[in-house]
Structures are given as C-alpha cells and as structure tokens.
Amino acid sequence: MYLGIALIFEVGTATLDFSFETPIQAFGTYIIGLGTANGDLSIEFNDGTPRSISATGDAGGGVQFVGFTAPGASISRVTLTLRNVMGGSRDNYSVDGVRYTPAAALLPAAPLVSQIPVATTTEFARLAPYEDIVWPESTPGQPQVLLGSDWFQLTSVDGTAVAEIIAHARTAFGPIWQKRFDEDLVEVLGGMGSPPGESVVLGLRDPETGEALERAAPMNSENRAALMQAKSMRAGPLPVPAVRTRGDLSGEEIAADLNALQAEMEGRWAYLRATGVDYRSAIAALRERGAGGMTHTEFGLEVLKIISMFVDGHATVSGIDYPPGMLPFFIESAGDRFVAIQADRSAFLDPDHPYISHVDERPLEEWLSAAAPFVSKASPQWTRRRSLNLLQRLQFVRDLMGLPSTDRVKVALASEDGSETREVDLPVASAGPRRGPWPATRSAVIDGNVGYLRLASMNAAAVNEVATWMPQFRETRGLIVDVRGNGGGSRDALRALFPYVMSEGDAPRVVNTAQYRLHADYGVGHLGGSRFMYRESWDGWAPEERDAIARFRDTFEPQWMPPEEEFSDWHYLVMSRSMNPEAYVYGKPVIVLLDENSFSATDIFVSAFKGWHDVTLVGIPSGGGSARQVSVRLPASGLVTNLASMASFQWTGLLHDGNGTQPDVLVHPEAEYFLRGGRDNVLERALELL
C-alpha cells in the first residue's frame, strides 16, 4: 500500500503508528520524497530498549529503504515520528512497500522507482560541534565555522584533515556531499570509521592572524539546530509573488468540496457540537460566494476559517499555498509583552531594545487579530501562540491586513523600561527560523542536588530519558520535570514516569477519559494502542484499576456531555504502579514545568500530574488539545482537513481542548529565557520552591 503523509504546518510532532497483533522481529519500508524542509524523521520501536533510527532527507527527494532486524525480540509497534515541524515549511513524505517478518534478515527488494538508488539507513545522531558553517568562494575546500561569536577556518576534526573528510563525502554522497558535511557530520565521520564521541577536537586557523589552534567542542543537537537556522536564513529575501487569478476552482468543484466537508464534519468530528458553532450558515455563505469560482488559495483559507471556529486545538487545513516571505526573526511572548529574537537565539534583535511593539508601523496586537480567524478557538493561550506563529508568515498576514507586499519589513523596538524606541529595517526572509523545542537543555543533576529531567518530545527518546535518568536521581532532594515546548507524541513517557511518584499504598488513578465519534472507520479499539484507553468492561484491567474506574465514574461531571447516540462508551486512561516494574518510590517533591507549547500528549502528561501529592505545576497554562485526529481529503481541491475523532476530558471534568491545564504556581517567562544561555526565571522559581 502506498501512503502519502501531508503534515500540518506548525504541528510540532507527527506520528504514524504501525501496530502488530502478532509481534515482529524485523521491519522495513521505502521512504519516498523525504526532503530538507522542517522536520526530522525517525523510526522508533522498543525491542526491550527504546530505539530510534534516523531517516535523512535529500533536497532532491528520492527513495531510500529503512529497516531493522532484532532477532529474538517481540515488537508490537513501530512508529514513524517527524519532529520539529515548525516555522514556514514542513517535510512531507510517503511510505511504500512496507514489510515485516519474524525472520532474522530483512533485505530490500528492487527499487520502486528506476534509476534511484535504494540504501539502508543506519542510526546516526544529528549533532554538530559548531553553530554555523560557510564555504567562502575565495577559499574553496576550506570551510569556516562559528564557535561562540568567533569564526575560524576548519582544518581537521579529531585529527582527520578536512580534505580527507571532503574526499570521503564526495565519494559517499556525490553532488550533495557539502550538505552532508554541513548537516550530518556524525554520519560522514562514522562512514570513515571514526564516529565522534560526546565532544571532538577541532583543528582551527584564525582567518586574520593565520594562527593554528585546537579546541574541544561538544557534539550536540543545539549546535546543529543553530546551524540549520543560520543556513535557512541565508537564503535571502524573495521577490513579491504574482497574484494568482480567480478560477482555479469552479463553482461546481467548490460546492462538491463543501458538501464533502459538511458530511465529514457531521459524520466524524467529535467537537462539532461542543460549543454551538453555526457552521451550516458559514458553509452556506461560502458556497454562495464561491459560485463563480475561487482560487485554490482563497478557497483553502475560507475552509480554514470555518474549521478554526471550533474548539479543536488540532483542527487545521493543509495543502494551502501561502505566499512566500517570512519574518527573519522570532517573536516570543514574555507575559504581556513581546520579544524579538535573532534567528539563532544568540541575542535579541537589538540588545538595547528587546521588546517589539509594531511591524510595518502597525501595533503587534493588530497583526495577531488579523491572524486569529485562521487559528482554532481552543484555549486563549493556544490561540495566541498559534496566531503568533502565523505572524511569521509576514506576506500572508500583510495580505489579510491590506498592506503592500515588499521585500523589506519595518520593526519598532523598545527598551526594557519603554523609555527608548528604535526602528529597524530588515529584509524579508525566504524561510522563517526553525523553532524546535525550547528550552534546548538536557537532563542532569543540577545545583543543590536536584534532578532535572528534560522531555522535549513525547517519543521513544523521552521514555529512554526516564529509564536513563531516574535511577541517577534516586538520591536527589527533589525533581524538576521540564516539558516546556513539548508538542506531544505518545503517552509512553507518562506511563514510565508516573509510577515513580506513586507510593506503595496509592490506588490507581484515572487521569484521562474520552469518547470517540461513532463512525464506520473507527473500530472498538480506536482509543487503545498508543493511547492506552479502554472501556470499563475491558478484560485487561486489574481489579484495583477497575475499582478506581468505578469510583471515578460515580463522581465525574464532564464540562460538556457528548450526545449519547453519536459517541462510544467512556474510555479511561489509568495510572498504576504496575505500569513500570523498574520504578521505585521517589518520595520527594516534584515540580513539572509547562507552557503554552505543552500540547496534545503533553497536555495529558501535565494534567495527569495535576493535583497529585508532592507534585507542583509551575509556569503558564498548557496549550489544551487531545484529539485522536483523523485526516480527510476534499475531492476537488485536494485540501486535507484534520479533525478530532474523540472528545477528551481531564480528570477534573474539563475538556482538554479549550482549557489546557493551569499551573499551581503561575510564572511567565522573562525575555532572557528565550536566548541561548539566557537566564531561566521559571526554572529559578522552581528551584526556590524546592
């Protein structure tokens, strides 16, 4: 079966799950068309240890075969996870020729596309020892790298001359050798038989003095993220695009799509009736306006506006051709003010004027108001965050506001106390900065003997963080779990961590309950699998878990009662100590850090810890979204709408969508938090509370 994957812009993390009723020992698939837009693809599974295999994209797309063998293992799920889908692009791809077998060998068949080589993929970490790399035309074959604020000519890595590395890269990767050198140094050095460790020794030469020197540099993902952002920004400004003429879609095609959209909304959308949206009038009005035809982009945006009227935080429309042209810097929210950040997060746009008040001489709030109709009406914090993200699409929001599209943008900045202002004029970028999860920190035992567990995404790596670090945190005096910027994924990390905060006598706890829309596409196990949610009658519950569900059911009062005739029975997610036999009783204070980017599976995570003994939530409210989303393609336009198939509730009775989880201690991030190496006032407050 051929399956095309079209990602939602700004989705953060997207997963494709393969579940196996009979466990497997080997798996493989062709990955087609994986490019170099925003998103890092990995294949994740657990053969007794969480595993992750990276799939590296290519500017030309192409085909690669990715697989693994794990003789003797019993694997019931394989997940393709695309992380860091942020900013102005996303990496769509397709899978074909999926095969799985209990055999101990797995070899690719003939290529699916002639003349395109098929290669197996080995796991290589995406790390870098420097924050940027350029190849000056004046010195071919002699790259320069950025370390801190200083540029150096790179002469060697761990004693291997750059000329040798280039020669190997040319042989191994052909015309894309330089891209591989820049972005996949671990893979390049590994192919030479010299895989790097946690740090490397760089041979350098000062370009001004010619002095030769060596410097040890850490290999980490933060450096690589900064490098990728810098490369993206160097693409430069785009010309103002020509306006597409009306008539891309006929009135008949628009009517057909709207009929299909309304049928799908009414047949499968869980949040259709949650807030009383008059969607039929909106669809009828669009059908009338589109009777004479519309451009594909116009129609896509109108559909997005309809979808965005609802509370579903995951709801969006993909396949819309947005006009090119992006802001060349980040805008972040620091309380009731906004901060302008350099694309590499090394500094404010202007160190003396960190706050931004106007763009193109219009107040920032006007820009957010213009973007808001195209963002789902979920929680206020999620709507504001998504509107801020959409503002990165400068030319698009200019069009909404009736402003001229030019290749420059004026930005008004203000000092800390607001007494001084400054206006800067910048080029419009061809691609926006890649956000990625923030903060870019790592798990560690930090000052004062405090465990710091950083979970940047809810995936196999997060499960591995729990398994790796919780044994090392056993003797710490307190634990901080940081899920800020974590856009979701699976619930495995929650199931791995929660048993540590349960005492020997604690009864199981129901932390999430949901119902799914009754639809022919949704089977009785629609919320099982990676969501671990089952009916009360499920025969897999332990007696104490069944008792916990009965107690919960007797007192649970939902914020909104889904219509009984349209929804399944209630399903429950239950936390119990038996989920992780390796967990010990931590028994000391725990603080969970959250923000508005803590979303989807991370909403489930923070809500589960809310109100639990010895646990305090610190930060700002989470995004608010829990969907079991499904994608529906409209027949004429090809637009893909993403709709929630389940109504998901916190244990308090509140919907996740439209609310999010409130912190116990409200602490807004200050401006410096958003800079690499900047002061983290939220973390500081957590340490004070411990």
Residue 430, both tokens:
């061809």
Length, in residues, of the chain: 690
Q: What is the mean pLDDT of residues 51-61?
A: 70
Pairing mode, if any, of strands 450-454 and 478-482?
parallel
Range from 232-246, 322-336, 373-387, 483-497 carrying the lowest mean pLDDT: 232-246
Q: How would DSSP label each residue in 642-664? A: EEE-EEEEETTS-BSTTT----S
* Assigned token pair, 253: 């095609």
- 512 pLDDT more than 50: yes
What is the mean predicted confidence (pLDDT) over 241-249?
A: 49
- State the CATH number of the domain containing residue 489: 3.90.226.10
Kindly state whether residue 108 falls inside one of the protein's structural domains: no
Check if the beta carbon of residue 192 is closer than 8 Å to that of residue 159: no
pLDDT tens digits for range 200-209: 889 998 777 7
Same domain, 492 and 591: yes
Please tell me the least confidently modeled range out of 208-222, 449-463, 561-575, 589-603: 208-222
Q: Are residues 390 and 461 in the same domain?
A: no
Of 101, 118, 151, which one is at a domain's C-terminal end? 101
Q: Is residue 320 part of a domain?
A: no
pLDDT of residue 233: 59
With H, G, I as helix, E, B as strand and everything else as coil, classify residue 290: helix
| Window from 137-151, 406-420, 549-563, 620-634 with minimum mean pLDDT | 137-151
Answer whether residue 550 is part of any domain.
no
Report the distance separating Cα 682 and Cα 414, nearest Å: 23
* Same domain flag for 617 and 497: yes
Name the residue with higher pLDDT: 651 or 224: 651
The predicted structure's pLDDT at residue 111: 35
430 or 497: which leads in pLDDT: 497
CA gap 395, 406 in Å, rounded: 8
pLDDT at residue number 360: 96
The pLDDT of residue 173 is above 90: no
Q: What is residue 567's predicted lDDT score, i.e. its pLDDT?
A: 97
CATH of residue 84's domain is 2.60.120.680
State how far the Cα of 165 lies from the Cα of 462, in Å rounded to an integer: 33
User: Model confidence over 377-413: pLDDT tens digits?
Assistant: 889 999 999 999 999 999 999 999 999 999 999 999 9
Q: Which of 50-59, 184-193, 231-240, 493-502 has the lowest average pLDDT?
A: 231-240
| DSSP code, position 324 | S
Q: For 289-321, how does the pLDDT look when each residue is reduced to its tens digit (9 = 90+)?
A: 999 999 999 999 999 999 999 999 999 998 888
With a pLDDT cut of 90, the percent of the chain lying above it is 60
Q: What is the mean pLDDT of the chain?
A: 87
Boundaries of domain holding 586:
437-502+576-625+660-690
Span 83-101, average pLDDT: 72
pLDDT of residue 676: 92
CA dist 630 and 270 (Å) reads 11
Assess whether pLDDT exceeds 60 at residue 88.
no
- Torsion of Cα atoms, 257 then 260 then 262 then 264, to 10°: -140
Mean pLDDT of 6-21: 76
Predicted pLDDT at 313: 94
Residue 11: predicted pLDDT: 65
Quick check: 110 pLDDT over 50? no
Is the same domain home to 20 and 87? yes
Taking residues 13-22, report their average pLDDT: 84
- Is there a single domain that holds both residue 221 and residue 335? no
Cβ–Cβ < 8 Å for 240, 353: no
- What pLDDT is stored for residue 597 in this prediction? 95
Q: Are residues 606 and 463 in the same domain?
A: yes
350 in the same domain as 208: no
Q: Give the residue-averaged pLDDT of 456-464.
A: 90
Same domain, 487 and 611: yes
Average pLDDT of the segment spanning 253-282: 96
**Residue 470: pLDDT over 60:** yes
Q: Quick one: pLDDT at residue 613? A: 96
| CA atoms lying within 13 Å on the CB side of residue 458 | 30
Domain boundary among 210, 233, 256: 233
| Percent share of the chain, pLDDT over 70 | 90
Within a domain: 647: no
More confident residue, 248 or 618: 618
651 domain residue, yes or no: no
**Co-location of 86 and 190 in the same domain:** no
The angle formed by the CA atoms of residues 27, 32 and 34, to the nearest 5 degrees, is 105
Whether residues 488 and 604 share a domain: the answer is: yes
Q: Alpha-carbon distance 594 to 482, whole Å? A: 7
- Is 394:323 a contact under the CB 8 Å cutoff? no
Asked, for residue 56, whether it belongs to a domain, the answer is: yes
Comparison of pLDDT for 146 and 9, the residue scoring more:
146
The arithmetic mean of pLDDT across residues 503-508, rounded, is: 96
The answer to whether residue 460 is domain-embedded is: yes
Do 334 and 465 fall into the same domain?
no
Is 170 found in the same domain as 47? no
Which of residues 233, 264, 281 is at a domain's end?
Answer: 233
How many structural domains comprise the chain? 4
Q: Which residue has the higher pLDDT, 150 or 566?
A: 566
Cα(364)–Cα(73) distance, integer angstroms: 55
Model confidence over 353-371: pLDDT tens digits? 999 999 999 999 999 999 9
Averaged pLDDT, 246-260: 87
Distance CA 675, CA 439 (A): 9
Collapsed DSSP state (helix, strand, coil) of residue 485: coil
Residue 410 domain-assigned? yes
Please compute Rg for the chain using Cα positions.
25
Least confident of 38-42, 414-418, 543-547, 668-672: 38-42
Tens of pLDDT, residue by residue over 214-239, are: 888 888 877 887 787 677 655 444 33
Is residue 106 scored above 60 in pLDDT?
Answer: no
